[in-house]
Amino acid sequence: MKRIKSKQLSRIATLSICLAALVFCSCSSARRAGTNQRHKYHSFTFVQLSDPQLGFLNGNMNYAEDSVLLSRVIRKVNSLKPSFVIMTGDMTNASGNASQIGCYKKVVSTLRKSIPLYQIPGNHDVGKGSTDEKVAKYISNYGPDHFSFDYEGCHFVGINSCVIKDANKPLEDKQWDWLAKDLDSKKGSRLSFVICHHSFFLRSYTEKVSYSNQTRGVRDKYWELFKKNGVDCVISGHLHDNLCSEHDGIEMVTTGPVGKPLGKGYSGVCVWKVDENGTYSHKYYSIDEFEKIERL
């Protein structure tokens, strides 16, 4: 699926662009980014990986097949040289498994040093319950469980959605305070992306709560914060399938897995592009398709 978006287009311009985009893609829309036009920005590309989940393909008996898939992806990322890589969780299948974690780290260590890697935790990385101890263990294994950074006038903020899903209120409240301040301080960004493991919703904002999404109360709470602070898109994984939806002008992108797919999904990679005018697009490729890309 492909999505194109930017901020503050007039209604007429928005309608015109959307109608034109429908000729090429059934999941496209556009808004112009609100930026300081005196500043010249450059286009850039980043790659999203999700759910390599080493060990899942063979029920934790081994992780040979999973690691091969991840290695293929990292090798191709190195040749394409995106600006950075985002990993949206579930690096391994068995939480705290030293062997799986070691293999994951070994594979991603082959990523070019010039390509930053930003990781946020998935439920299989933290473990059931997302207790303080388990989150601390994740941090000791992988580094911070939330982050924010800016690139070419765009803001990216990654959060630990496990403490939200598992209702660890003290840790969620602490993260919420940090997130609210962070987003408020970056309202003037060209584009604003929130990155997490769990999707807030999959196909419809009003859908029932399930293992794969967040509760309606959580959706309302966070979506209001995102709207207030001009968030454009929420990027997630967890489902092991690829979907995109939208609510109140904010896109919800659920990206499929590098590792084992579920349902109608397939192993793949999402490539994101932001042009100099503040328009973004994304496309999900199977690993075979990704390896055939000659340039970003």
Series of mean pLDDT values for 10-residue runs along the chain (296 residues) = 47 39 35 57 98 96 96 99 99 96 98 99 97 98 98 98 98 99 97 99 98 98 98 99 98 98 98 97 98 96
Within-domain flag for 29 = no
Quote the pLDDT of residue 116: 99
Residue 178 tokens read as: 């940090």
Within-domain flag for 23 = no
Beta strands in the chain (DSSP E): 2-5, 44-49, 84-87, 117-119, 147-151, 154-158, 192-195, 233-236, 243-247, 250-254, 268-274, 280-286
What CATH number does residue 191 fall under?
3.60.21.10
Model pTM score = 0.89
Quote the pLDDT of residue 39: 80
Within-domain flag for 10 = no
Domain that holds residue 141: 43-292
Terminal Cα-to-Cα distance of the chain (whole angstroms): 17
Q: What is the total count of domains within the chain?
A: 1
Residue 194 tokens read as: 């929130």
Within-domain flag for 240 = yes
Within-domain flag for 20 = no
Residue type, 59: G
Q: How far is CA 219 from the centre of its chain?
A: 17
Within-domain flag for 7 = no
Within-domain flag for 215 = yes
Quote the pLDDT of residue 37: 52
Within-domain flag for 255 = yes
